[in-house]
Amino acid sequence: MFEKVKDQYASIGVDVEKALEVLAGTPISLHCWQGDDVGGFEGGDGELGSGLAVTGNFPGKARSIDELQQDLEKVLSILPGKHRLNLHAIYGDFGGKKVERDAIEASHFQGWIDWCKSQGIGMDFNPSCFSHPKADDGLTLSHPDEAIREFWITHCQLSRKIAAEAGKQLGSAAVTNVWVPDGMKDLPADRLGYRERLKSSLDRIFTEKLDQAHNIDAVECKLFGIGSESYVVGSHEFYMGYAIQNQTALCLDAGHFHPTETIADKVSSVLMYVPELLLHVSRGVRWDSDHVVLFDDQTQAIMQELVRCDALARTHIGLDFFDASINRIAAWAIGTRAAQKCLLLALLEPAKLLREAELAGDYTTRLALLEQSKAMPWAVIWEAFCERNNVPGELDLLSEVKDYESKVLSQRV
């Protein structure tokens, strides 16, 4: 069957083996926070703040670094291809001691670096500018209080150094993504002042030049959030301007824009002006609710645009959702595999024929080819990819997850 389908694709100019080679070489950064509902390991009550919320109480949440790593290993074992770990600063190994965020060191994350090395994967990193007393009023890097700004500046500076150390040890640059929740529930009287302070803080954070072979800086925008419905300091316009001016990577999160706005249309424009792109593949429902990624039109459009722009080499793909209402292992696996399937479908487009038809003004053929692509037996190619990587196919995935739930997650009381 696979060989027959390969021939079908070859008839429209698609090299299936080349598509699978690209798919296998495109890692997705798995967000650690899906495994424990963004709790982290700082101690305390682990309550979220700064406009972040996780709903649900499905049994089996990871309660320690060992359990989180165990769960991640299970997820990696049921995903085709090689991937990465995306780690937040609150997930350090602090040895049961209280370590303030302006005092974190690479030593607190050495265990994670060693774990990544054992798995043969790279690591990405994020400063955690939320769920902290110094972020309770919704402001961090743009705060009018200089002492609070200084605290968060230091935290971000240290996060970059930790990421660079991880990148150096693992031989793969870590993407360090700076996102802050700064904003206001109601209308501000001084939009400019907060943005001037945010820019000044970012300039301080990025003053030290780090080897890009070890660390890649990214900044992330947002339209609105809980508690910042009227004003977000780090808007899309703010961060796009900052990324262009400073030539950092720009992070586009699928849930950080208006519900009717897709980031797919932004990819080609942004890549004309910034060196690299970081994508947070998520699914917002009515707001930035970070639902599990699906094999849906929006995700397909994002992946199509990356392939059509020949942008995969300049793009870092990560996931950003957290759902505690379902099995967390299933959420990770279903979401990651959905993103991979969307990418595969994009790689199987008859790109040459589509471009030729468009340039000739033959939009009828263009439309027919796009619809034909949707009806092609791409699922056969996906199943072959899973088989080559010795991971469960679609029909076997759920039983694999349920078995782990029965043997491991259900024992966590």
Is position 199 annotated as part of the catalytic site?
no
3-state secondary structure 199-246: HHHHHHHCCCCCCCCCEEEEEECCCCCCCCCCEECCCHHHHHHHHHHH
Is position 102 annotated as part of the catalytic site?
no
Catalytic residue among 36, 220, 305, 405: 220
Catalytic residue among 71, 290, 305, 405: 290
Is position 253 annotated as part of the catalytic site?
yes
φ, ψ dihedrals at 131, nearest 5°: 50, 55
CB 300 within 8 A of CB 337: no
Catalytic residue among 61, 88, 256, 341: 256
Catalytic residue among 37, 42, 253, 405: 253
Is position 291 annotated as part of the catalytic site?
no
What CA–CA distance (Å, rounded) separates 214 from 210? Answer: 7
Sort strands 215-220 and 231-232 into parallel, antiparallel or unpaired.
unpaired
CB 260 within 8 A of CB 224: no
Is position 7 annotated as part of the catalytic site?
no
Catalytic residue among 42, 217, 276, 288: 288
Catalytic residue among 42, 71, 305, 320: 320
Question: Which residues does 118 contact at the CB level (< 8 Å), separation at least 6?
Answer: none
What CA–CA distance (Å, rounded) separates 311 from 307? Answer: 6
Q: Rounded to the nearest 10 degrees, what angle do helices 378-388 and 328-347 cross at?
A: 120
Is position 37 annotated as part of the catalytic site?
no
Is position 97 annotated as part of the catalytic site?
no
Is position 280 annotated as part of the catalytic site?
yes
Comparing C-alpha atoms, which of 167, 222, 220, 248 is closest to residue 51? Answer: 222
Q: Longest Cα pair distance anywhere in the chain, in angstroms?
A: 67
Catalytic residue among 199, 280, 316, 341: 280
Is position 320 annotated as part of the catalytic site?
yes
The DSSP result for 7-75, as a single string, is HHHHTTT--HHHHHHHHHT--EEEEGGGTTTT--SS-S-----TT-------S----SHHHHHHHHHHH
What CA–CA distance (Å, rounded) separates 191 from 178? Answer: 20
DSSP bridge pairs for 219: 178, 250
Catalytic residue among 112, 115, 179, 382: 179
Question: Which residues does 295 contact at the CB level (< 8 Å), separation at least 6?
Answer: 338, 341, 342
What CA–CA distance (Å, rounded) separates 114 from 381? Answer: 34
Catalytic residue among 143, 155, 222, 316: 222
Q: Which residues are catalytic?
A: 179, 220, 222, 253, 256, 280, 288, 290, 320
